[in-house]
Amino acid sequence: MNKNRQSTVSHRFVHTRREDNAGEWYALDNAAIIMPAVTDDISTRLFRFEAELDAPIDPEILKKALALTVNRMPYFNVRLRRGFFWYYFEPCKTMPSIYPDLEFPCQGWNINRHGTRMFRILWKRNRISGEFSHALTDGTGGIGFFKSLLANYLILKGVDPGARLGEGEWKDIAVSSGEMSGLAISEEFEDAYQRYFPNGLPFPDLRPHAFHLSKSCLPKGQYRIISGKLLTSEVIAEAHRRNISLTELMSAVYLDALQHIWYATNPPPREPYVSVEIPINLRQLFPSRTFRNFSLFVLISEDMRLGMRDFDELVLRTHYQMKLEYDRMSISRHLCRNAGSARNLAVRLVPLRIKDFFARVFFSKFGESMLSGFISNLGQLKMPPGFVPHILSFGFIPAPSMVTMTNASMLSWGNELIINFGSLAQSRELEQLFFRRLRSIGLHVSVSCRSDNGISED
Amino acid sequence: MSYCPECGVEIGNAKRCPLCGTLNPKACEKENAVVYSVNDQKNPEEETLPQEKPTILWEILSVTLAIAMLVLGAIDLFESRRFSWSLYAITSILFLWVELTAFFMLRKRPILRILLSVLVPPLLFVIIGYISGNQRWALGLAVPIIMLVESLGGLVYLIFEKSKKKGLNLIAYITIVAAMFCIGLEVLIDLFAIGMVVLRWSPVCAIALLSIAIFFLYLHFRVFKNADLHRLFHF
């Protein structure tokens, strides 16, 4: 009987879709619940995917493709509403519009404004972009939606995918095929944090406050993107030569850039630690088909009081820190803390206004204050063989943050590794040190900044 | 292909290097390089303390309380050559220590923990009454009020445990118990002070609290089952 009760409780937390007389609505997942409180006009928590196609975008076809995608994945077509205890998502009654692309991405879209959708699709010339709020989904969920949108667009343009979509290797591409049904579909919007909630584990240790870049900001509404392109094969060969992964190599380069900035800062910073957050896709450790948030992070830190570290030493230390932190048991401790707090009756009964206040305090004390920046690697993107010749490149832009100021995200498409730095800071020192280090270890890098000359891809 | 002479990265047709601002040598003639410098200064700072474990915390608190008792006793003894006022403080500290021990050290023995937590507060007032030489207020007022609080606390716990569907009904139950406490408190005070019960302020409190409780029960059992407000009040 106790087991039954526990299973009912778990079911209640895992399944986000609910229904009442007015129709369906969705609860926010465990990572999303804090997002609305810490979202504002600048730190929009929007991240972006872009795809450059081989032909100019047809907006009418894009609209149809978007409608098809949203019909298949209705849990994306939602807006944020305030409840008395929690936020919730209310389905939008209309189809989402498409917008002309802007000079500065991920800006001017605040999900807290009444009626604002949790994502937007933009287009300009050959490029389609999708910006998604972290309150709705994470990188893996967002790219799933974006790839489905691209697939629908190219199919409507008469391109044959050359593979069966929605199955096997292409199961993350959800093209429209009738009504939603079955368990597999409900899994797509489950709260997987709650599904894998491990009760009774010790909480992870608190990390010290980390050093942050200087607070000289760009004017409001500006978000600078500096893109670097490398050859994936060349970077992987360099990583393998050092017996580490590509993500570890890039994180070490990031950490190296941060340690140089730390030592160059005068007067010396109060926080002695530089820390890089590496988001990890939990679906690799805990199988789930969810398109909602299901990621956590590993934090790689160095104590600057011990002195400046040699780059090779930093690479090794990053590798070993990653090995220590990135395992199912260690990650479960984070899951236990995060998912457990949302199950706590005392927390649940606190009115939303008060929760919002404490969410901001906790996020500022124990969230972004622990990291100097993050570098997110989405990995190698794949599209069905029929689509590949029509997609020239992909891009992944990190969400802006007023605390860390500059962050990076990367993905690989074909043999191209694209690293995008998104920054709200005037200084370009971090980007400069990062790419110079890549050059110094013999990697070929091509760099551009779209806001220097309008949108550079034009 | 254009390369930035400072950063060594390819910069395409951009007028300046996006990283350091150096003019593209193929496009322009002037250079405007920003040279990066490294400052080796270090700032040794205090280590942050590691999180204390319950046992260590209990030990520290015990030593602190023991020192406080010794100091209070010594001062009292020094001033009045006997234990007078310090007995109240020492007894209170002693009972605080028992409560802390129950909280920190008896996590794995819940029955003993609950027993200690429940028995210690009334016992404290009995002893203080004994020290003061007047047990009347302790037995007639303090102990009954503490027992009332403890019984109502236990009742709330049982209701929480027994409730199949936890929601706004829990807030309603707490409000009802608070109303019961108000009435009980006035009854106990009246019995102690005038030997009979004349309810004056507690019914007003109880009516206000009960109306709130009824509203929450209505929301929980009637509105949430059938109406669109479910989404608004989900928790």
Q: Decide which of A380 and B12 is more confident.
A: A380
Residue B68 neighbours by CB distance under 10 Å: 14
Determine contact: B36 vs chain A, CB below 8 A: yes
Indicate the SS3 state at residue A173.
Answer: coil
Q: B187-216 as b/e, with b when 16 or more CB fall inside 10 Å?
A: bbebebeeeeeeeeebeebbeebbeebeeb
ipTM of the complex: 0.76
Q: Predicted confidence band at B49 (pLDDT cuts at 50, 70, 90)?
A: very low
Which of chain B's residues have a Cβ under 8 Å away from the Cβ of A84?
A: 232-233, 235
- What is the average per-residue pLDDT within B153-180? 87
Q: Is the pLDDT of residue A339 over 90?
A: no
pLDDT for the residue numbered A176: 66
Q: Predicted confidence band at A115 (pLDDT cuts at 50, 70, 90)?
A: confident
Q: Is the pLDDT of residue B67 over 90?
A: yes
Interchain pair B51, A226: CB under 8 A: no
pLDDT for the residue numbered A7: 52
Q: Which of B40, B45, B166 sits opposite A345 (nearest CB)?
A: B166
Quote the tokens at residue A218.
Answer: 């760009």
Determine contact: B159 vs chain A, CB below 8 A: no
pLDDT for the residue numbered B228: 62
Indicate the SS3 state at residue A312.
Answer: helix
Rounded Cα distance between B151 and B146, Å, is: 9
Interchain pair B227, A21: CB under 8 A: yes
pLDDT for the residue numbered A8: 53
* Residues A451 and A104: beta-carbon distance below 8 Å: yes
Which of chain B's residues have a Cβ under 8 Å away from the Cβ of A345?
A: 160, 166, 170
- Minimal CA separation from A28 to chain B, in Å: 11
Q: Predicted confidence band at A92 (pLDDT cuts at 50, 70, 90)?
A: very high
pLDDT tens-place string over residues A293-324: 999 999 999 999 999 999 999 999 999 999 99
- A423 DSSP β-pair partners: A224, A406
Determine contact: B8 vs chain A, CB below 8 A: yes
Which of chain A's residues have a Cβ under 8 Å away from the Cβ of B232?
A: 83-84
Which of chain B's residues have a Cβ under 8 Å away from the Cβ of A78?
A: none
* Residues A373 and A277: beta-carbon distance below 8 Å: yes
pLDDT tens-place string over residues A157-215: 999 998 888 888 888 898 865 444 444 488 899 999 999 988 888 888 888 999 999 87
Indicate the SS3 state at residue B65.
Answer: helix
* Residues B178 and B130: beta-carbon distance below 8 Å: no
Residues 6+ apart with CB under 8 A from A122: A98, A99, A100, A101, A102, A128, A129, A130, A131
The DSSP secondary-structure symbol of A452 reads B
Mutant choice from B2, B3, B7 vs A, greatest count of A C-beta within 10 A: B7
Phi, psi of A385 (to 5 degrees): -55, -35
Cα torsion through A382, A384, A389, A390, rounded to 10: -90
Which of chain B's residues have a Cβ under 8 Å away from the Cβ of A81?
A: 231
> On the CB side of A234, how many CA atoms lie within 13 Å of its CA?
13
- A267 preceded by a cis bond (ω within 30 of 0): yes
Determine contact: B37 vs chain A, CB below 8 A: yes
Q: Predicted confidence band at A105 (pLDDT cuts at 50, 70, 90)?
A: very high
Determine contact: B35 vs chain A, CB below 8 A: no
Interchain pair A20, B231: CB under 8 A: yes
pLDDT for the residue numbered B36: 36
Q: Decide which of A107 and A340 is more confident.
A: A107
- Minimal CA separation from B104 to chain A, in Å: 17
Sheet containing A416-423: order of strands? A295-303, A273-281, A373-381, A406-413, A416-423, A224-231, A446-449
A to B CB pairs, distance under 8 Å: 129
Q: Predicted confidence band at A458 (pLDDT cuts at 50, 70, 90)?
A: very low
Determine contact: B20 vs chain A, CB below 8 A: yes
pLDDT for the residue numbered A14: 86
Q: Which of B9, B229, B234 sits opposite A435 (nearest CB)?
A: B9
Rounded Cα distance between A412 and B33, Å, is: 31
Interchain pair A228, B36: CB under 8 A: no
Closest residue by Cα to residue A284 from A328, A333, A319: A328
pLDDT for the residue numbered A332: 93
% pLDDT > 70, chain A: 95
pLDDT tens-place string over residues A18-69: 887 778 899 999 999 999 999 999 999 999 999 999 999 999 999 999 999 9
* Alpha-carbon B172 to chain mean position: 21
% pLDDT > 90, chain B: 41
pLDDT for the residue numbered A166: 83
Interchain pair B18, A81: CB under 8 A: no
Helices (H), A16-109: 59-72
Q: Which of A25, A272, A433 sits opposite B231 (nearest CB)?
A: A25
Determine contact: B165 vs chain A, CB below 8 A: no
pLDDT for the residue numbered A144: 95
Determine contact: B116 vs chain A, CB below 8 A: no
pLDDT for the residue numbered A140: 95
The CA R_g of chain B, rounded to the nearest whole Å, is 34
At A419, the amino acid letter reads I
Q: Predicted confidence band at A1 (pLDDT cuts at 50, 70, 90)?
A: very low
Determine contact: B231 vs chain A, CB below 8 A: yes
Chain B residue with the nearest C-alpha to that of A303: B44
Quote the tokens at residue B138.
Answer: 């302790």
pLDDT for the residue numbered B33: 35
Interchain pair A272, B43: CB under 8 A: yes
Q: Predicted confidence band at B22 (pLDDT cuts at 50, 70, 90)?
A: confident
A190: left (phi over 0), alpha (psi -120 to 50) or beta: beta
- What is the average per-residue pLDDT within B194-208? 93
A405: left (phi over 0), alpha (psi -120 to 50) or beta: left
* Residue position matching structure tokens 């971090």: A430
Indicate the SS3 state at residue B117.
Answer: helix
User: For chain A, what is the mean pLDDT?
Assistant: 91
Indicate the SS3 state at residue A128.
Answer: strand
Quote the tokens at residue A48.
Answer: 């972006």
pLDDT for the residue numbered A19: 83
Rounded Cα distance between A59 and A366, Å, is: 43
* Residues A430 and A454: beta-carbon distance below 8 Å: no
Rounded Cα distance between A217 and A141, Å, is: 30
B8: left (phi over 0), alpha (psi -120 to 50) or beta: left
Highest mean pLDDT among A113-117, A149-153, B111-115, B220-224 belongs to A149-153
pLDDT for the residue numbered B163: 80
- What is the average per-residue pLDDT within B100-113? 85
Rounded Cα distance between B121 and B91, Å, is: 11
Quote the tokens at residue A232.
Answer: 């994936």
- What is the average per-residue pLDDT within A238-257? 97
Q: Is the pLDDT of residue A267 over 80?
A: yes
pLDDT for the residue numbered A381: 96
Chain A residue with the nearest C-alpha to that of B42: A305
Rounded Cα distance between A296 and A192, Å, is: 12
Pairing of strands A391-397, A406-413: unpaired
Interchain pair A226, B19: CB under 8 A: yes
pLDDT tens-place string over residues A401-416: 999 999 999 999 999 9
- Minimal CA separation from A220 to chain B, in Å: 20
Interchain pair A349, B170: CB under 8 A: yes
Q: Decide which of A97 and B169 is more confident.
A: A97
pLDDT tens-place string over residues A220-237: 999 999 999 999 999 999
Cα torsion through A52, A58, A61, A62, rounded to 10: 40
Rounded Cα distance between A329 and A141, Å, is: 24
> What sign results for the dihedral spanned by CA atoms A36, A41, A44, A50?
positive
* Residues A383 and A415: beta-carbon distance below 8 Å: no
Interchain pair A268, B166: CB under 8 A: no
% pLDDT > 90, chain A: 75
Q: Predicted confidence band at B48 (pLDDT cuts at 50, 70, 90)?
A: very low
Rounded Cα distance between B141 and A246, Å, is: 73
Which of chain A's residues have a Cβ under 8 Å away from the Cβ of B228?
A: 20-22
- Count the residues in chain A: 458
Interchain pair B18, A268: CB under 8 A: no
Rounded Cα distance between B9 and A442, Å, is: 11
Quote the tokens at residue A134.
Answer: 């972290």
